[in-house]
Chains A and B, each alone.
Chain A
């Protein structure tokens, strides 16, 4: 009997010892218990790697979110090197006005009109992979442009399809840190009518990136050497931009070696080799229209 009491006491003490009173727990213990209990978080998709839907002149892997609308106004000017004769290129402006829209999480569509060569363009941008679940973000872009210049009076029977240019791009992006994102951009361009000495098909492999200076400012660059096809008067498009975010706007102030506004013009109509130092000033301005905002009327 005595022995049994001893055992009971022993077990009781053990139990008491094993279960420390809740009162003794500090909040840190409770926080540790919470960390242990909270369900493991699925890794969220990595935040914005690029500020705008364009890197500089070329598209970025970034998609416009569903039902967001961009109104984009872009200008490219003549060469800065022309000096006071054209007021550093400002007299030779080319303008593009465009709309971009997020159909859903994966698909953006857009249309634009550019003064240079009286060009209409339309594009579809499709998000294939997103960093977070995959190591990179992968986006596909397909652009069709129709140049609208009147045909030369040279006796040839031109067809409408001779006006068309097709650009296919793969945009592979990766955000390496909160500041640095890089992109690899293979491009294939086809045109139905090529000038003498130039190929109908040319391909480029571009590199680009952006570096965030602070919450609202970022530097971006891109450079796309040609890897395939003949393009006698063409050169590798290069551009660098300062991105400025202010509420519902993104501004991109840029310097580039061409005046391309559509991808067709960026890849086929960039003539000033980087070595010549003939750079052009330009800008892209995005006005964002977002759904679901509860706008109040003034007053």
Chain B
């Protein structure tokens, strides 16, 4: 009886802990790269300061992209990106709120990349649009590596490209996501 009680007690203590936090993974150094290919110019920028959480139990995913942390091949491009196109003083972050819709098909223990489909709302330049993003989720150490690729139409987010530089900036840019999620442990 005593033994059973002890086990019960242990289970009672552990179960909610793992339910609340065991399935929660995060990164604060996620990598997002975008690539714009236009007739006159190819432009690539990197951001390695993306924060994201994924809850593998509920499938919920959020991410925050500090716009000023995009690195460009030169400072003038970066200035135009921030001041002229993304208005990062007014809209400092891009944000994503969504859900893993094929959670049931994913084997969280498999070491091979699992196909992941995420649906949600992406806010860039203060304008929110629904997105369906396909990528992969792969077990990596005690965490996960998530990769995805999708397209963003600048006009969808009211990012206006003046006619004079339209030959240098694509109407649609490719976005590449590469996050290394670690288990989240709440600080005491």
Contact = CB atoms under 8 A, between A and B. Distances in A.
Interface in B1-30: 1, 5, 8-9, 12-13, 15-17, 19-21, 23-24, 26, 28
Contacts of B74: 65, 67-68, 290-293
A22 B24 contact: yes
A66 B63 CA distance: 32
12 contacts: A8-B5, A8-B9, A11-B13, A15-B16, A22-B57, A26-B60, A30-B53, A30-B60, A37-B51, A37-B53, A41-B66, A296-B39
B83 A68 contact: no
Contact of B42 (A11, A37, A66, A294): A294
Contacts of B55: 22, 25, 30
Contacts of A20: 20
> Majority SS of interface residues in chain B?
mixed
Contact of A215 (B9, B41, B73, B84): B84
Interface residues on A, range: 35 or more
B177 to A, nearest CB: 16
Contacts of B28: 37-39
A22 B82 contact: no
Interface string B66-80: 101000111111010
B5 A5 contact: yes
A173 to B, nearest CB: 15
B175 interface: no
A58 to B, nearest CB: 22
Contacts of B16: 15-16, 18-19, 21
Contacts of B168: 247
B24 to A, nearest CB: 6
Contacts of B127: none
A23 interface: yes
B155 interface: no
Contact of A294 (B8, B13, B41, B68): B41
Given A65-B75, A294-B43, A296-B39, A15 B13 contact: yes
A12 interface: yes
Given A22-B21, A22-B24, 12 more contacts: A8-B5, A8-B12, A12-B9, A12-B13, A21-B20, A23-B57, A25-B55, A27-B60, A31-B62, A38-B28, A47-B82, A65-B76
B76 A34 contact: no
Interface of A: 1, 4-5, 8, 11-12, 15-16, 18-23, 25-28, 30-31, 33-35, 37-39, 41, 44, 47-48, 65-68, 178, 215-216, 245-247, 288, 290-296, 298
A10 to B, nearest CB: 10
Nearest to B5: A8
Interface string B39-51: 1111100000001
Contacts of B73: 291-294
B52 interface: yes
B26 A34 contact: yes
